[in-house]
Structure 1
Amino acid sequence: MRIVITGASGNVGTALLRRLTRDAGQEHDLVGVCRRPPAGGQPYEAVSWTALDLAGPDVDEALRPVVRGADAVVHLAWGFQPSRDITYLDRLGIDGTRAVIDAVHAEGVPHLVHMSSVGVYSPGPDSPEGLGVDELWPTEGIESLAYSKEKVAAERLLDEYERLHPDGAVVARMRPGLIVQRDAGSALLRYGVPSYVPGGLLRHVPVLPVDRNLVVPIVHTTDVADAIARVLERRSAGAFNLAADPPVTRDLIADVLGARAVHVPRQVLRVLTDVAWRTQLQPLDPGWIDLAFALPLLDTTRARRELDWAPRVDARTALAGVVAGMADAAATTSPALRPRSVVGELAALVRRGPVVKRLLP
């Protein structure tokens, strides 16, 4: 197949390239679209790259020749920073998704796979640990986090497209929990940890001050990539929840860190995060605290039944892997997943300002 992948150099994109280039007996024609194409290295060498910012001007016209003749488009491109420039994030997440949909329709691409998120769901029910919502759960997200609102808006664009064009492209929506892998360690540090904090400190966390009620769904990046590949193979439609067991609780995180868990109410965490974000002491938007405590657990029955999918990496192993990756500043040759160091981050802070304000974190 000829497959065009937006955001192909990122966390999920890298894993998807590895999965597709490993397919026995299949040589896919892979086209990667991102702002900063990788210069080389595996798995990026097997891809034809197009440098394109989906938030940039004239993106509609620029995308059409890229997707022309494709059997499928996988839309992964998204932004997490700069968290203080919501206008840019909206252009990338919402307008960029609209541009992808328009290009797919204009060029007659038969299949569109969109990377949605557990963040599109409305807050989960008060249910015992382990019970998850299926794909019919309301998708209103939360109002306090741009990421959630943008993911919801992107799905509304897909709703409108399917309503107006019932004979158009087949649309699939992947709704994973938090996606983690070791190679994303440097990127996650850059997005969520102050530039002056070495990742190696994660090996020496004595106390984890978090609300005891925290429980979130996570899934390893390779398992997300495997689900996308299965959707492509079957030309599947509709939404698919993706998550691994067990649900990740505060105590599980503390156990992986080797730390002692201490209950700190989420309202206190939210205030502290907000103050630190407003004073630019740390880059994490306080809305992520709201999302963490609003996320429902996920029922993955549909993906298991219709895609014959099952996560190969359990949630504890996935969490331990990404924590180790953050401590080691794990990376790839992709600019999006490049190595992170305190010296390098402080130099970028001086040259380009804090990560919450710059377009290329």
Structure 2
Amino acid sequence: MRIVITGASGNVGTALLRRLARRGDTPGEKENGSAAGNGDGSSGRHEIVGICRRPPSGGPPYADARWVALDLAGPAVEAALTPVLDGADAVVHLAWGFQPAHDISYLARLGVDGTRAVVNAAQAAGVPHLVHMSSVGAYSPGPDDDRRVDESWPTGGIDSLAYSRQKVAAERVLDEHERAHPDGTAVARLRPALIVQRDSGSALLRYGVPPYVPAALLRHLPLLPVDRELVVPLVHTSDVADAIVRVLEQRATGPFNLAAEPPVTRDLIAAVLHAWPVHLPRTVLHTVADVAWRLRLQPLDPGWIDLAFAVPLLDCGRARRELGWTPAVTADAALAQVVGGMADSAATTSPALRPRSVPAELAAIARGEPITSRRLP
């Protein structure tokens, strides 16, 4: 297959490149080695083209792809994409932005307009299959109990977070495409829980932790002040990559929920951090985060707190039945991995997953370029 991957250097893209490079490359096969990249975009029996704004310089797993530098938020991106997609058997659309969070118009151009450009270019190039990375954040608030919801749950998102609104808007772009082109590019939509792996540690710190906070401090938190009702779904990045490969191999279409068990609670997070859980009502937590956000003291949009308490738990029965997908990593194990990765500032050679350091972040602020507002985070 010739597979084009947007956002191929990021969290999920890195795991997908690793998954595609496995020897034999059969969905569900245990990892028993890796096929060496040829430096020409060939990975095993697949030809991989990676699209991102800042291509990696090389090394595994990035050497297994041929790279095209392209900002999906830029001008005339659809015209630039079409020749890249020509002859592709499938497009995996992973590209998305989380920062600069104070520049919502840029994030909308990247996430919503970028998705429209990818869909239109895929249709124009005659690509038969598109796999779109949606999110649990596209769903409307979940039921009041811990009941899991399947893919029929409404995708209305929450109004207080731009990320959620934009994920919903991207889903509507796909709806429009499917109505206009019933026999055109077929679409699969993956709606995963929070996606984590150890190597995303530095990126998560950069996007969600104040720049003056050392990573190692995570190992020494005495208290975790969070509302006791917090319950969120989570999944390991490698399991999401495995689901993508299964969708590609089976030419599956439609929506698929992806999450691991057990759901992540406040007490589970506290146990992984070796911290004492303290009940802090979500309204108080939101107010504190909102004030710090407006004063530019921390980079996390307070809408993420609203989302954390609104997202539903996911019924993944369709992925299990139709794809044969079962997560290999439990949610508590994935949480422990990513917390360890954050404490160690884990990273890769990709610019998107580069190492995070306090001096570098503070230097950016001194230059007037905090990550929440600088054009290219």
Q: TM-score, normalised by structure 1?
A: 0.98
1:17 aligns with 2:23: no
Alpha-carbon contact 1:181-1:221 (below 8 Å) kept? yes
In 2: Cα distance, 1:337 partner to 1:352 partner: 22
Tell whether 2:134 aligns with 1:110.
no
User: How many angstroms apart in 2 are the aligned matches of 1:147 and 1:28?
Assistant: 32
Match of residue 196 from structure 2: 180
Counterpart in the other structure of 2:259: 243
Partner amino acid, structure 1, of 2:22? R
Q: How far has the Cα of 1:23 moved from its partner?
A: 4.5
Deviation of 1:245 after TM superposition, in Å, equals: 0.3
1:351 to partner: Cα distance: 2.6
Quote the residue 1:31 is aligned against: 49
**Could you tell me which amino acid in structure 1 is paired with residue 134 of structure 2?**
S
Q: Distance in 2 between matches of 1:340 and 1:90?
A: 25
Does 2:213 correspond to 1:207? Answer: no
**C-alpha deviation, 1:21, in angstroms:** 1.1
- The reply to whether residue 41 of structure 1 matches residue 59 of structure 2 is yes
SS for the counterpart of 2:376 is: coil
Amino acid corresponding to residue 253 of structure 2 in structure 1: A
Q: Which runs of 5+ in 1 are unaligned?
A: none
Residue correspondence of structure 1 range 94-173 to structure 2 within 5 A: 94-128=112-146, 131-173=147-189
Q: Aligned with 2:367: secondary structure?
A: helix
Matched to 1:271, the amino acid is T
* Aligned 1:1-361 pairs, distance under 5 A: 1-24=1-24, 26-128=44-146, 131-361=147-377
Q: Which residue of 1 is the match for residue 34 of structure 2?
A: none
| Inter-partner Cα distance in structure 1 for 2:72 and 2:365 | 25
Percent identity, aligned pairs only? 73
In structure 2, runs of 5+ residues without a counterpart are 26-43
Q: 1:83-103 CA deviation, whole Å, 9 max, x = no partner? A: 111110110011000000000
Q: Distance in 2 between matches of 1:39 and 1:326?
A: 23
1:210-260 per-position Cα deviation (integer Å, ceiling 9, x unaligned): 000000000000000000000000000000000000000000000000000
Alpha-carbon distance between aligned partners in 2 of 1:102 and 1:217, rounded to the nearest angstrom: 32
- Structure 2 letter corresponding to 1:315: A
Q: Cα offset for 1:360?
A: 2.2
Shift in Å at residue 352 of structure 1?
4.8
Task: Note closer, same or farther for the CA distance 1:305–1:23 as it changes in structure 2 (3 Å cut).
Answer: farther
Aligned partners of 2:228 and 2:334: how far apart in 1? 21
Per-residue CA distance 1:247-288 (angstroms, 9 max, x = gap):
000000000000000000000000000000000100000100
Letter in 1 for 2:108: D
Q: Alignment RMSD, CA only? A: 0.8
Segments ≥4 residues shifted beyond 3 Å: none
Q: Which region of structure 1 is more displaced relative to structure 2, 240-249 or 345-354?
A: 345-354
**Is contact 1:220-1:318 (8 Å) kept?**
yes
SS in 1 for 2:20: helix
Is the contact made by 2:198 and 2:342 (CA closer than 8 Å) also made in structure 1? yes
1:316-344 CA-to-partner distances (Å, cap 9, x unmatched) read: 00000000000000000000000011111
User: TM-score under structure 2 normalisation?
Assistant: 0.94
Q: Give the 3-state SS of the residue equivalent to 1:217 in structure 2.
A: strand
| One-letter amino acid of the counterpart of residue 94, structure 1 | V
CA distance in structure 2 between the partners assigned to 1:238 and 1:60 by the alignment? 24
**How far, CA to CA, are the matches of 2:126 and 2:368 in structure 1?**
41
1:224 is aligned with what amino acid? V
Contact 1:21 1:27 in 2 (8 A): no
Task: Give the Cα separation in 2 of the matches to 1:27 and 1:206.
Answer: 50
The CA distance in 2 between the partners of 1:32 and 1:349, in whole Å, is 31
Letter in 1 for 2:242: D
1:90 and 1:245 map into 2 onto residues whose CA distance is 32
